[in-house]
Amino acid sequence: MDESLTITVEGKEIRISNPQKILWPETGFTKLYYVNFLLSVADYLLPYSKNRLLMMWCYPDGVNAKRIVRKAMPSFAPAWIQRTFYIDKHWILLNDRPTLAWLANLAALELHVPFDTYDRIGYPTELVFDLDPMDTDNFELVLETALQLKDLLDSLGLKSFAKTSGSTGLQVYVPIEPKYEYRETRMVNEFIAKYMVQKNPDKITIDRVVKRRGKKLYFDYLQLWKMRTLPAPYSSRATATGTVSTPVTWEEVRKGFSPTDFTMVNIIQRIQERGDLFSPVTTEKNKYMQSLDKILAFLKTHKSVVMI
């Protein structure tokens, strides 16, 4: 017999099927626990996901079972869910708390979004660098590289913000004016990535071929592109312990931590104590929309510096 319950979120009734179904076996987190988690972080997650085409990773039988990647709006989605049509399908716009609860019922345990909004597709709202270690036991190299990257960005006059991937890596965001096409942001990203590799040839690589990377950290500057995605800040991840993609301070990066430190168990208390560390990228973004004009002008007049 299918046990279920109905919850009401902002006037919308949402049926939660099998609320006691365990989705994270190691921790015992149930679907209902996940629903409550998403609603508790909604005020911090939604400002970033707003008006972005949602890609969700669903695990209907839990994190140890098959993953289903959903891009198109399911045919059974309620009419009140905000959506937009792009290319050949309707996409969900993750803009409100009821939608979050409905997604939780689908066991959408990871919420991934692109770097642009549906009304400005092709114009990212930030530069992003994804620092991905090959050796999962060497997070120290991730932290070291992130600090070097911050210093470089500071020297270019660009303020940056970091968050864990929720898995093994760290991601660095640079809010920018949403007036640059991806090909332009790629020029800046590539210039920075190649500079970082030149400074750390024994530790960092931009080689896309995994078997050639060895134990070097993969400095991924290519992910920043049209219709590519990263987990939204405060999204859970389908890891054994229910880790969360968590904004961190640069002081925390200096002191050191493990990405497994941040889970659904402690993230709310962390926000209460430290505030929303990603607000400069989301709710306060108008203060931090940075220009790339000078950097692009330099790169376009010194084309030998960077390969487009």
Task: Specify whether 188 is located in the same domain as 52.
Answer: no
Residue 28: predicted pLDDT: 97
Residue positions counted in the chain = 308
Residue 135: predicted pLDDT: 72
Looking at residues 38-49, what average pLDDT do you find?
A: 98
Tens-place pLDDT, residues 183-220: 999 999 999 999 999 999 999 999 988 888 888 999 99
| Closest CA relative to residue 179, chosen from 126, 224, 232 | 126
Tens-place pLDDT, residues 134-184: 877 789 999 999 999 999 999 999 999 999 999 999 999 999 999 999 999
Residue 211: predicted pLDDT: 85
Task: Specify whether 249 is located in the same domain as 164.
Answer: yes
Q: List the domain range (segments joined by +) for residue 205.
A: 126-305
Q: Which CATH number goes with the domain that contains 206?
A: 3.90.920.10
Residue 307: predicted pLDDT: 43
Rounded Cα distance between 290 and 127, Å, is 10
Is 193 part of a structural domain of the chain? yes
Is the pLDDT reported for residue 278 higher than 80?
yes
Is the pLDDT reported for residue 130 higher than 70?
yes
Task: Specify whether 87 is located in the same domain as 139.
Answer: no
91-107 CB burial, b ≥16 within 10 A, e <16? bbbbbbbbbbbbbbbbb
Decide if 132 contacts 169 (C-beta within 8 A). Answer: yes
Task: Specify whether 94 is located in the same domain as 145.
Answer: no
Looking at residues 258-277, what average pLDDT do you find?
A: 96
Number of domains in the chain: 2
Rounded Cα distance between 216 and 204, Å, is 5
Task: Specify whether 130 is located in the same domain as 257.
Answer: yes
Looking at residues 43-65, what average pLDDT do you find?
A: 98
Looking at residues 35-59, what average pLDDT do you find?
A: 98
Tens-place pLDDT, residues 209-257: 888 888 899 999 999 999 999 999 999 999 999 999 999 999 999 999 9
Rounded Cα distance between 292 and 299, Å, is 11
Residue 306: predicted pLDDT: 47
Task: Specify whether 109 is located in the same domain as 183.
Answer: no
Tens-place pLDDT, residues 78-124: 999 999 999 999 999 999 999 999 999 999 999 999 999 999 999 99
| Closest CA relative to residue 62, chosen from 21, 33, 17 | 21
Is 214 part of a structural domain of the chain? yes
Sign, Cα dihedral of 124, 127, 133, 137: negative
Task: Specify whether 186 is located in the same domain as 106.
Answer: no
